Amino acid sequence: MEYMRVALEEARQAAAEGEIPVGAVIVKDGAVIAKAHNRRENDHDPTAHAEMLAMREAARILGDWRLRGCTLYVTLEPCPMCAGAMVMSQLSGCVYGAADEKQGCCGSVYDLPADPALAGQTKWQSGVMAEDCGEMMRTFFAGRRG
Classified as helix, coil or strand, 35 is strand
19 a catalytic residue: no
DSSP symbol at 104: -
Among candidate residues 2, 51, 101, 135, the one labeled active-site is 51
Between the two ends of the chain, the Cα-to-Cα distance in Å is: 32
The single-letter code of the amino acid at 111 is D
* DSSP letters spanning 25-58: EEEETTEEEEEEE--HHHHT-TT--HHHHHHHHH
Cα separation, 84 vs 89, whole angstroms:
9
- Show which residues are catalytic: 51
